[in-house]
Amino acid sequence: MSSTPLPNPEAMPDAGPDGGPDAGADVALLRGVLDSAPARVCVVSRDRRYIYVNREFAEFAQRPVEEILGMRTRDLVGEEVAGRLDPHGDRALAGDVVNIEGWIDYRRNGRRFIAWTFTPFRTVAGRRDAFILFMRDLTDQKLREEEAEANRTQLRAILEGIADGVNIVGPDARLVLANPGFLRMYGFPPQLGAPGTPLADFIRHRLRRAELRPEEDPCEPEEALVLRRVADIMTRPPGRLEETRPDGTVIELRTERLPDGTLVNTYSDLTLRRDAERARRASRDALRRNERLSAIASLLAGVAHEINNPLAVVAAQSLLLAEEAEGTPLAERAEKVRRAAERCGRIVASLLASARQKPPKREKVDLRAAVATGLDLTAEVAREAGIEFATDIPPDLPGIRGDADQLAHLVGNLVGNARAALAGTAPQPGWRPRILVRLRAMSDAVELRVADNGPGIPPELRERVFDPFFTTKPDGEGTGVGLSLCRTIAKAHGGSICVEEIPGGGAALVVRLPRPA
C-alpha cells in the first residue's frame, strides 16, 4: 500500500513559514509516525470527506488509501455509523475535544468496541475546516472485561446461594470477599462484609461477644488479643480444622493459600452431620443392647425351665408342710417356706418378663411393702456377713403404679450388688461395712437410694455398669446381668437409675420412679 499524502504542509502546525525543505521533512516524519501508530487516524474536512488516513485506518477499511481519500464518510462507513459520529465531528469543528467510546456495528468489520477522540484541526490561517479522528479498537479488551464481569457475577450468585461460608483475605489482612453464608454463620453484621474491611474488625466483633479461645486470658488487653489472632490467621498453614462455637455449632474451616499470600477460607456447618453420626452410634448401641437382652432372655428361659420343675416340688411340699404343721410351733416357719417358694416363682417370671422388656403390670403399688419384700432375704444375708444394714423409709410415702414383684426384684438386686461390693473391700482400722436403703418423696417422683461405703464406682464405669454382661467382679463371681435388669425394670416403669458418688467413699445407686399424674 502506498504512503498516505498529508494535507498541505502549510496547514500543519509544524510547517515552516516558507514551506521549504524543513517543512517537508517534518511532514514526512509525521506521516511515518502516524503510519506506525497502532491506532487508526484520519482527517475529515468540514464537508465530511477524508483528506488523510493512516495505514492502520486503510487496513481496517479494507480499501487502498487512494480510494479512501476524497471519499465521503457516509460512503465508507454507511449512514448509520456516520449519523452516530457526525454530531461529535460538529463539536470538534466548533473547537471542542470530544472523547467517547462504545459498541458500533460496521458494515465490513462487524460489531466493534471503539474509543474515539475528535480533535479540532486548525489551518495556518486559523480556520477550523477539518478535525482529526483518533480511533482505538478496544474490542478484545472489552470482551475480556465483559467475560470477567460475567464470571464475577456468576461467582457472586453462586457464593450468595450456597449455605457454606466463603471469604478471601488479602496479604494485607483485609477482606477481599465474603459471602452471606459466612456472615450468617458467625453472626457478623452485613457492613463487615464490605471489601477492604480489616481482618481485625471481625476479631474485635467476636471478642466483644466474649468469644474467647480456651487459651486466651479475658484480662488481657483487647488489642493484644486482636494482634495475636490476626498473626495466627495470616500465618496459618493450609489445611482443615474444626471449631465449636459457644452455641454448640461445629464448623469446619478449610484454608488454601495462594502464591501471593492471599487466603481462601471456606466454612461448613457440621452440626447436623455430627448429630446424625451420634444418632447412628446410638442406634447401633441400642441394637447391640437389644441383641444382648435377647441373649439374656434365651438364657433366662432355659434357667426358668430348669428351676421351675424342682421349684414346683418345693412349693407343693412347702404347702403340705404348712398344712401338717398348722397348730404346732413349726407352723410359722413352714408358712415362711411356703411364701418364699411362691415368691421364687414370681421372681423367675419377673426376670423373664424384664429381660424380654415386656411392659410391667400397672397396678397400685405400696412401695414400702415392695421394698420390704425385696429386703426379706437379702438384708438377712447382709447382716450375716457382718454388714451394718439400715433403712430410712417414711410412713407417708405416696403410692405408684407398677409391678410389685419386679420392684421387689429390683431392690433385691441393688442390695445384692452393694453387698458384693463390700465383700471385696479390704478392712481398714475403724471402718465397718454399711448399707443404707432410703426412700423419699419428691415433687414428681419417689426416689429409692441404695448406698454403701465400699470402694465406689470409677467415673468412667458409671454408665458401663448397666450394660448387659459387664461386671467388675473376678471371673466366676458375677454375670453382669443384675444392674442391666435393674435399668430395664426402672425404664419399664417410666423411671431412671444412675450412679452417684458419696463423699468420703462408696457409691449410691439411685432409682427415681414417677408418681401418678
What is the per-residue pLDDT across 383-392, written as a single tens digit (0 to 9) for each? 777 888 888 8
3-class SS at 237?
coil
Decide which of 336, 358, 380 is a domain's last residue.
358
Residue 430 CB coordination number (10 Å): 5
Whether 385 and 499 share a structural domain = yes
Whether 347 and 421 share a structural domain = no
Q: What is the pLDDT of residue 444?
A: 86
* CATH at 500: 3.30.565.10
Grid coordinates representing 446?
A: 419417689
Q: 150 in a domain, yes or no?
A: no
Counting every residue written for the chain, the total comes to 517
Helices of type H across 216-330: 222-234, 271-324
Whether 424 and 368 share a structural domain = yes
Whether 109 and 170 share a structural domain = no
The number of folded domains in the chain is 4
Whether 321 and 264 share a structural domain = no
Whether 99 and 175 share a structural domain = no
Decide which of 246, 269, 292 is a domain's last residue.
269
Q: What is the pLDDT of residue 189?
A: 93
- Between CA 188 and CA 199 the distance in angstroms is 12
Whether 442 and 368 share a structural domain = yes
Q: What is the pLDDT of residue 308?
A: 67
Decide which of 111, 143, 175 is a domain's last residue.
143
Q: What is the pLDDT of residue 129?
A: 85
Q: What is the pLDDT of residue 503?
A: 77
What is the per-residue pLDDT across 33-70, written as a single tens digit (0 to 9) for each? 787 778 899 999 999 999 999 999 999 999 999 999 99
Whether 307 and 368 share a structural domain = no
Whether 234 and 294 share a structural domain = no
> 406 vs 68, 82, 250, 411, 412, CA distance in Å?
113, 104, 44, 9, 10
Question: What residues of the chain score a pLDDT lower than 50?
Answer: 1-21, 476
Residue 258 carries which DSSP code? -
Q: 149 in a domain, yes or no?
A: no
- Between CA 509 and CA 469 the distance in angstroms is 18
- Between CA 234 and CA 230 the distance in angstroms is 6
- Between CA 119 and CA 117 the distance in angstroms is 6
20 contact partners, CB below 8 Å, separation of at least 6: none
Q: 283 in a domain, yes or no?
A: yes
431 contact partners, CB below 8 Å, separation of at least 6: 453
* CATH at 122: 3.30.450.20
Whether 353 and 370 share a structural domain = no
Q: 156 in a domain, yes or no?
A: no
- Between CA 501 and CA 408 the distance in angstroms is 24
Q: 157 in a domain, yes or no?
A: no
Helices of type H across 385-461: 404-423
Whether 338 and 408 share a structural domain = no
With a pLDDT cut of 90, the percent of the chain lying above it is: 26
- Between CA 115 and CA 441 the distance in angstroms is 92
| pTM for this entry | 0.41
Residue with cell 494482634: 227
Whether 332 and 388 share a structural domain = no
Domain of 256, in residue numbers: 162-269
Please give the biggest Cα pair distance in the chain: 164
